[in-house]
Amino acid sequence: MEWTIQELAARAGITSRALRHYDSTGLLAPSRVGANGYRYYDAGAVLRLQRILLMRRLGMGLPAIAKVLAEEVDAAEGLRGHIAALEEERERLDRQIRSVRQTLEVLEAGGEPRMDVMLAGFNDYYRDEVISRWGERAFRVSNDWWHGKTLEQQRAWKRDAEDLVAAWVDLAKAGISPKSDKAQELAARHVRWLSRIPGTPTFDGDRERSIEMVIGVGDMYVDDPRYAGMYDDAAGSAFVRDALHAYARSGM
C-alpha cells in the first residue's frame, strides 16, 4: 500500500510543502518517485514520519531529529522512548488541567486563587529533589495524589500539617528531650502523617527505606533553607530532627 504526497499530508495534518522540505533536507525521502514525478510513501516512510512528528511535538528541531534517526539502530526501542515521553507529557497536561479547574472553582466561588495552585503542573517545584531522594515513581504518584485533591481537601491536609507543626513548636519550647516519650509519640504521629502520602517509602511499607526517609526528612528541616523558621527557630528545627532520628533509629 502506498500514499501519494497529498494523501500522506492530509492524513498527517501537515502540508505537502513540509513533506517536500523533509525530502530536500534528507529527513524523509519518498519510498519511490513515479514516472510522472509523483512522490509515493509506503508503511516504512509513514513510520518514519510518525516519529518525526512525535519529536517535533516534543519540541525538537529538525537537525536534532535527523541526528536521532541517523544514530538509531532499533526503531522499536525508539518508539518505546517516544511512548515514555508522551506518557510523561500526558501526566504533565493532566496536572495542568487539574490546576486550571481548581482555579476556576475558586473564582466561581468568589475567592482568590492561590498562586502555587494556579501554577501546579506548570513547574513542579520539588520534582528534581523528590526524584533524587526517592525516585521518579515517588514523585509521580505523590504529585498525582496531591493534584487530584479538591481545593477543600488540600486545605484540610494543610490544616493537619499546620497542627503538627504547632505541636512540635510547643514541645520544643517545653524544654524536654527529643528522646522523651512525648517527643517520640509526636514523631510517630509525624511518620503516620507522612505515610498517608502515596509513593513514599512509609506508604509502600519498605522498612529500610522508611527509616532512611524519616532520617532524611529530619535533616531537611535543619539543612534546607526553604524550611528555615518552619518550627519557629533553629532550635525548634533541631528538636524535630533529633526526635525523628531517634524514632527512626529505634526501629519505628
Total domains, the chain: 3
Query: What whole-number percentage of the chain has pLDDT above 70?
Result: 81
Return the CATH number at 21.
1.10.1660.10
Same domain, 51 and 91: no
* Residue 102 belongs to domain spanning: 77-115
User: What pLDDT does 151 receive?
Assistant: 67
Return the CATH number at 196.
1.10.490
Q: Tell me if 111 is assigned to some domain.
A: yes
pLDDT in tens, 65-75: 888 888 776 76
Helices 151-173 and 181-195 sit at what angle, rounded to 10 degrees? 160
* Residue 185 cell numbers, joined: 509519640
User: What pLDDT does 186 receive?
Assistant: 96
Same domain, 62 and 110: no
pLDDT in tens, 179-219: 999 999 999 999 999 888 887 766 666 778 788 888 988 99
Out of 20, 51, 72, pick the residue that ends a domain: 72
Q: Tell me if 168 is assigned to some domain.
A: yes
pLDDT in tens, 123-138: 454 566 666 666 767 7
pLDDT at 119 over 50: no
Q: Quickly list DSSP for 117-154.
A: HHTTTTS-TTHHHHHHHH-HHHHHHHHHHHHTS-HHHH
Same domain, 11 and 100: no
Q: Tell me if 89 is assigned to some domain.
A: yes
User: What pLDDT does 165 receive?
Assistant: 93
| Average pLDDT for the chain | 81
Q: Tell me if 196 is assigned to some domain.
A: yes
Same domain, 100 and 172: no
Q: Is residue 99 a contact partner of residue 117, using CB atoms and an 8 Å limit?
A: yes
pLDDT at 176 over 80: yes
Beta strands in the chain (DSSP E): 3-4, 32-33, 39-41
pLDDT in tens, 44-97: 899 889 888 888 877 677 888 888 888 776 767 777 777 777 777 777 777 777
| Three-state DSSP state, 74 | coil
Same domain, 154 and 244: yes
Q: Is residue 3 a contact partner of residue 41, using CB atoms and an 8 Å limit?
A: yes
Q: Tell me if 137 is assigned to some domain.
A: no
CB atoms within 10 A of CB 65: 20
